[in-house]
Chains A and B, each alone.
Chain A
């Protein structure tokens, strides 16, 4: 059986790896339109920010294909799929037969239809990233159009490189799909503090050499304009081959299209009415498709979405249904704008269905897992938002400590035993250690023993 994969991005390359891990022999050909080895798109924001080098995003070593018997064709676009002949045809006219075809064509950046759009650089690919970085090197001021996840990461990254940045956003608050208005506001304030000028509720009408002209005529200055206006699934190839396409290529729970020989995964696929734009679902889909293609059984049932902003000094996680209000769900909320903190839990039937965590917090790990697993929540909701609360213990002062309290773990010595030992005449740590062995193990209770002995001596002084 011969497998052909169209698309060598995050989804396509993952699928190839998953298939190879399950079947070392199946002939596999993968076509990538980009000239690069597959790379991790998630890390492009880090490359832009300078927190990852361009060589740190490569997902496979160049030698991987040869050592794993996979034919990889880079920089070659597949222009046609002939489903009746089960072949794909590339731009250079080459035709490749398949028994199983996987479409992993991904999506492309949306370029708004405004005059001068060609002057701006979209932020989607590694090539885009290089172009932006080259422009930023001599740029004096940047404008980022689009205040979604990617736009914010780009703006923060450029600001971190010392470039003044203005972020333009059409909606009333940033990341409106993932955040409620208050979270968007707090996030904007945090970014402002990091050198990003936030302009929400504005429409870019034209892109000029000297900046971006807004609908109200104002010119937002900038000699580098970056577009982050969302993405659109690349479905033309599938559509032309007669496959059913809505927003994305329609697939079932096995990631199969209506043609049993053709699968679609990643950002070009539409499962149960949803087109996913994050890597985690794409990788889950790749695993399911690989399992089916290699003769196994698996079903994809949709993914829970966790959005995690990657921007230095801005900790943000948003998951699930963050927009629900008290009318429809139990909502727990904490805001502390001065510190850039906003935390919100959305709970239904005792389970976490959504959350926003803005500002550094240890709760993020636990809450993400509670959301992912859909398990029951504890009654104490505050403890979830403030994980440190339970751990705070009052310093064990010798006075307050009960006699039964264990002071030396290593030798199982209680305060009562130390007191008894003191009453029998011991007046220092060495005396207590000789009698009880306290402090002779790991040694960390030395201060506590000293404190107790000191306090007892003090008491003696007072009563005397």
Chain B
């Protein structure tokens, strides 16, 4: 059987063809999908078939670690949920979703939480990824679609500024879209991506916001503002201009460590480009001031007249496979399908009607991801948690504490394909189908809705997340569909009229048109590849400049913890590693956690490459093998977060508006393990 589908991993959602002959499964790149045009794949994509044949696959439900029949496990969970709700109320039960889930699952999970469980306590790991960029985009444009233009537009630009993104490792085929423009990379590390750059700005961790302010100051000072654009298409510039008088480049240099001369080069290149794009990644976003940092980069893009102009723009690089769709359809604490706000009466009325309930029955906004995890098992917090498509023991900040909270629950239920670190602590584990064993839609980083088709039969004994939701809903007195196409049709109706309107999208259209861009309100609507060309989604159609101020990281180095820690990804692993750490070729390429540090710091600490080193923060400690490299700043160490450990160190200080934790900077001490 030959099936055209997409990669199981990142938001690029490279097209791939799966050829299955019995147990022999081969993967070849598709050439019709723009994201991986020319038939590119990285090692993760090429080896993805191993996910399907992996020996560690779960195929029976586990109850307290023992294999049990499906009905036994489902009955147990339903009974316990009922009992816990009876004692602690609906908010005694919580749901934690993931940005890798299909649109159908994300939608159904949100509906299940609000309608069946009646709980406000639902959030998802996308809070740890996209929330800051989302909040900033909504604030500026009234709409959050990661790239508000097709990815292929990038090849036509003259200059791309990439703030805090390492695409050469996180989504390698993306680099093929960057061979045309001059690339400016902002990163505390000279990453694989920074090495490809025409100009690399290497700021102190936690100072991207100051750097963005300095760049915009220079744009204004050097008379490079696109005044016509600012007058015609934006509001609020004067306030921003005033706020920037305090951020002259020499001051920014002292805060960031980026030389004024380099800032000038960046600004002049951007301003002289006919077409240019400003992009942000998690490096700029995963901060307690991530929303303001993205806003500062959006302000820069607006002053240069980029957003909403053909071939130019601002965009964020969504991380997880369905990081875009996952943030649109209601698994977020404050949200209803179609990117609607849960506290908006009109939104509640519309969605309640689709769901067949009264608007007042829908709960209000709940806790954000970290706040939810932090509250588990506390007197005011939930007593039960259902986890879908997430591994917070590895991926949450201050993870040792989060693990304690998970252990304090009366009931932890985890749906996963393997016994992840989180699943290993669960009372009940449901083994589920994965990517090529099921069908569903994914919305990639461009906002293009794609169809991931079933290519192989699921192993005996596993069920889909949708089936588990249907079974639990049924036991709790509600009828839910587990048929992806039916769920997608309902999602379309629920999203109709919302910002992320999928009403006109069908599986057939996706197939015929190789994906459909949202918003697509009706069957005859072509979708909007570039939604901002005529106007922005704000009430007056203008993009909003918002003045923002730099402030230090929530935790700066001091005598006890003198070094910055920043975290990120490596090419051969993905997210919490639950999938990729079980694939031979990938573990060979990236076998273990490491600590990257500068030769000068290594010398000072008497550490040599290959030593096992301990990294300590106020929240915990972790070890890794020392990698000594002059690609990192002297004052900073880097750890990949694919293994349990790095996040024991990270700081859960939250962004006031997006509730994003400060993954990208905290203070640590590094020592050699004797």
A residues engaging B (CB < 8 A)?
39-40, 42-43, 46, 51-53, 55-61, 279-280, 306, 308, 310, 315, 360-362, 364-366, 368-369, 372-373, 375-376, 378-380, 383, 390-391, 409-412, 437, 440-444
Contacts and interface: CB of A to CB of B under 8 A. Distances in A.
Which residue, A310, A364, A380, A411, has most C-beta atoms of chain B within 10 A? A411
A277 to B, nearest CB: 15
Contact of B562 (A308, A375, A409, A442): A375
23 contacts: A42-B250, A57-B245, A60-B242, A61-B242, A279-B251, A310-B248, A362-B259, A366-B257, A366-B634, A368-B253, A373-B635, A375-B635, A378-B599, A383-B600, A409-B168, A409-B172, A409-B192, A410-B571, A412-B572, A437-B46, A441-B42, A442-B175, A442-B176
Contacts of A376: 604
A378 B41 contact: no
Contacts of A379: 600, 603
Please give me the 9 A-B residue pairs with the lowest Cβ-Cβ distance, nearest first: A378-B600, A442-B175, A365-B257, A441-B172, A442-B172, A412-B589, A308-B250, A441-B42, A410-B172
B253 A364 contact: yes
Contacts of B600: 378-380, 383
Nearest to A42: B248
B258 A365 contact: yes
B30 to A, nearest CB: 13
Nearest to A64: B242
Contact of B630 (A55, A369, A391, A444): A391
B75 to A, nearest CB: 46
Given A56-B221, A379-B603, A315 B242 contact: no
A161 to B, nearest CB: 15
B634 A378 contact: yes
Contact of A46 (B40, B175, B221): B221
B254 interface: yes
B196 A444 contact: yes
B239 interface: yes
A80 to B, nearest CB: 32
Classify the secondary structure of B's interface with A.
helix
A380 B599 CA distance: 10
Contacts of B251: 42, 279-280
A347 to B, nearest CB: 14
A368 B254 contact: yes
Interface in B153-175: 167-169, 172-175
B350 to A, nearest CB: 36
Interface string B573-594: 0000000000001001100000
B534 to A, nearest CB: 30
Given A46-B221, A409-B571, 6 more contacts: A59-B242, A61-B242, A362-B259, A362-B261, A410-B43, A442-B176
A440 B175 contact: no
A402 to B, nearest CB: 16
A310 B172 contact: no
Contacts of A61: 238-239, 242
Given A280-B251, A372-B254, A412-B589, A440 B246 contact: no
B221 A52 contact: yes
Interface string B252-279: 0110111111100000000000000000
Nearest to B202: A365
Nearest to B601: A378
Contact of B245 (A59, A364, A441): A59
A365 B259 contact: yes
Contacts of B245: 39-40, 43, 56-59
Contacts of A372: 254
B46 A315 contact: no
A57 B242 CA distance: 7
B190 interface: yes
Interface residues of B, number: 57
A310 B250 CA distance: 8
Given A56-B245, A61-B238, A441-B42, A368 B257 contact: yes
Contacts of A308: 250, 253-254, 260
Q: Which of B222, B250, B588 has the most A CB atoms < 10 Å from its CB? A: B250
B45 to A, nearest CB: 9
B125 interface: no
A6 to B, nearest CB: 22
A411 B46 contact: yes
A443 B40 contact: yes
Contact of A378 (B258, B261, B603): B603
Given A58-B245, A376-B604, A369 B257 contact: yes
A444 B191 CA distance: 14
A26 to B, nearest CB: 20
B204 A369 contact: yes
B220 interface: yes
Contacts of B174: 442
A389 to B, nearest CB: 9
A52 B249 CA distance: 12
B152 to A, nearest CB: 15
- The interface centre, meaning the residue of B168, B179, B257 with most chain A CB atoms within 10 A of its CB, is B257
A412 B256 contact: no
Contacts of B38: 443
A432 to B, nearest CB: 14
A160 B505 CA distance: 60
B241 interface: yes
B39 interface: yes
Contacts of A365: 253, 256-259
Contacts of B260: 308, 315, 364
A52 B257 CA distance: 23
B572 to A, nearest CB: 6
Interface centre among A61, A376, A379, A440 (most CB of B within 10 A): A440
A443 B175 contact: yes
Contacts of A51: 221-222
Nearest to A443: B176
A217 B312 CA distance: 63
Contacts of B222: 51
B452 to A, nearest CB: 21
A191 to B, nearest CB: 18
Interface in B174-214: 174-176, 179, 190, 192, 196, 204
B337 interface: no
B259 A361 contact: yes
Contacts of A410: 42-43, 172, 571
B43 A441 contact: yes
A435 to B, nearest CB: 12
Contacts of A361: 259
A36 to B, nearest CB: 12
Nearest to B631: A391
A383 B175 CA distance: 31
Interface in B69-96: none
B447 interface: no
Interface string B20-53: 0000000001000000001111110010000000
Nearest to B557: A373
A315 B265 CA distance: 14
Contacts of A412: 43, 571-572, 585, 588-589
Contacts of A443: 38, 40, 173, 175-176, 179
Nearest to A21: B549
Contacts of A380: 600
Nearest to A357: B259
A50 to B, nearest CB: 9
Given A59-B246, A442-B173, A378 B604 contact: yes
Contacts of A315: 260-261
A18 to B, nearest CB: 12
Interface string B545-565: 000000000000000001000
Nearest to B257: A365
Contact of B173 (A53, A60, A441): A441
A57 B221 CA distance: 9
B630 A390 contact: yes
Contacts of B261: 315, 360, 362
